[in-house]
Amino acid sequence: MKELRTAVLGLGRIGWQFHLPRIHQHAGFNLVAVVDPLPDRLKEARTVYGVKGYADCDALFAAETPDLIVVASPTSFHADQTIAAFRHGSDVFCDKPMAVSLGEADRMIGVMAECRRKLMVYQPHRATAEVVALQDILRQDLIGRVYMIKRTCTDYTRRNDWQAFRKNFGGMLNNYGAHYIDQLLYLSQSPVKRATCSLRTIASLGDADDVVKAVLETENGMLLDVDINMAAAVSMRPWHILGQRGAIVLSDDTSAWHVCYYRPEDLPVIPVQDGLAAAERRYGSGEKITWQELMIPISDFKPVDFYAKCYDYFALNRDPFVPVTATRELMRVIDLCRQDAR
Ligand SMILES: NC(=O)c1ccc[n+]([C@@H]2O[C@H](COP(=O)([O-])OP(=O)(O)OC[C@H]3O[C@@H](n4cnc5c(N)ncnc54)[C@H](O)[C@@H]3O)[C@@H](O)[C@H]2O)c1
């Protein structure tokens, strides 16, 4: 099995709790080094994984040339560290958001092409069992043409870490927007032609947005309605998928997709009225639609194993699970939202 000599930059929540254990578990990856400015975290990595630690990328690249760099540092470092990795001869698996702006993302893509290197961004919300199940249901075309997906993420959090501050490019548009907007772009499979967005700072202890309301209109005619609200004292339903002949929502306990639809052949024929006086002064046609109901357990589906996909792409040259063109579209849409919110 081809082995990818791998280094991880940033030993925080995602670096320590996700990337390092997954790299350690996968036989195709060999963790050769870690980078973090905090000496205690380097020491912890040496103790747990027996791995060499460096205080910054310059020190890492002076000593090693890994095949793969996993960028899990705070967002403002992603562009420069990725570009330094490409110029040093390494490929990059970068955490979301790819960068702090579309301009930075384009700079990274330009250097990737120039150095003939590879880049994939960790966008895990396209890999959940929930999304795998939803794609399967949509493929069955039960609810007809999907014209709207409403995605809501609610909590009440007085955020106080670096992600709460604009100077660090924090805020929920950058942070969770990179998850939920990506998820909707993945499901809609269409570029966005128009975006409206409002940002507010309500419960956060910092100055960056913690309430995001965005409506994206895609070229294939879908409305993608995104609510990321970290100042909501009551939670709202996470998903509404609306089609011409039905709808899909998550069950209250989130364990199943609830599909409600009608079969076209079951619709009664109703006449269209001429004239400007509603017949018999009645509201509505009085038709009775026979609705079909399905509960589809999410446990019937498996999430995508991201590190298996990483290995396929970086070691075996298979197509990337998240193509860089899809990440660029996400960055373009986040930029459109930011511009509209100004
Ligand atoms: N994909 C996901 O689900 C997910 C989840 C959380 C965070 N993230 C992303 O991962 C990145 C890190 O977020 P986090 O929540 O793990 O942050 P964190 O605050 O928990 O950890 C950041 C770590 O990076 C280190 N660091 C600081 N400057 C550095 C530098 N120049 N080079 C290397 N390391 C440096 C810090 O010392 C710390 O150990 C962010 O871009 C964030 O958006 C993604």
Atom of ligand 1 nearest to the CA of 122: 1
- Reference 147, options 76, 245, 58, 79; nearest CA is 245
The verdict on the CB of residue 201 being under 6 Å from ligand 1 is no
**88 CA to centre of ligand 1 in angstroms:** 22
Any idea which residue has 């995001």 for tokens?
A: 212
User: Which is the closest atom of ligand 1 to the Cα of 38?
Assistant: 37
Q: In CATH, what number does 4-123+305-331 get? A: 3.40.50.720
Is the CB of 93 within 6 Å of ligand 1?
no
Q: Which of 187, 303, 178, 285 is nearest to 242 (CA)?
A: 187
- Is the CB of residue 75 below 6 angstroms from any atom belonging to ligand 1? yes
Instruction: List, for residues 320-338, the tens digit of each pLDDT value.
Output: 999 999 999 999 999 999 9
Query: Distance from CA of residue 282 to its chain's centroid?
Result: 47
- Ligand 1 neighbourhood includes 13 CB (under 6 angstroms): yes
Residue percentage of the chain with pLDDT more than 70: 100
Across the beta sheet with 223-229, the strand order is 192-200, 211-218, 223-229, 146-154, 239-243, 246-250, 256-261, 292-297
Ligand 1 pocket, 55 CB below 6 A?
A: no
pLDDT in tens, 94-152: 999 999 999 999 999 999 999 999 999 999 999 999 999 999 999 999 999 999 999 99
122 lines ligand 1 (CB under 6 A): yes
Dihedral class, residue 10 (left if φ above 0, else alpha if ψ from -120 to 50, else beta): left
* Residue among 308, 335, 333, 330 nearest 93 (CA): 308
Q: Are 334 and 181 in contact (CB under 8 A)?
A: yes
Question: What span, in angstroms and rounded, lies between the C-alpha atoms of 73 and 51?
Answer: 18
Amino acid identity of residue 208, one-letter, is A
Q: What is the CATH number of domain 126-304?
A: 3.30.360.10
**pLDDT tens digits along 226-273:** 999 999 999 999 999 999 999 999 999 999 999 999 999 999 899 999
Asked if residues 303 and 132 have their Cβ atoms less than 8 Å apart, the reply is yes
d(CA 82, CA 196): 31
Domain ranges of the chain: 4-123+305-331, 126-304
Q: How confident is the model at residue 285 (pLDDT cuts 50, 70, 90)?
A: confident
Residue 10: pLDDT above 90? Answer: yes
How far away, in angstroms, is 94 Cα from ligand 1 center? 11
Tell me if 4-123+305-331 shares its fold with 126-304: no
Please give the number of the atom of ligand 1 that sits closest to the Cα of 175: 43
Q: Is the pLDDT of residue 21 over 90?
A: yes
| Position 286 pLDDT exceeds 90 | no
What atom in ligand 1 is closest to the CA of residue 16? 16
Tell me the average pLDDT across 28-52: 98
Residue with tokens 């990483």: 310
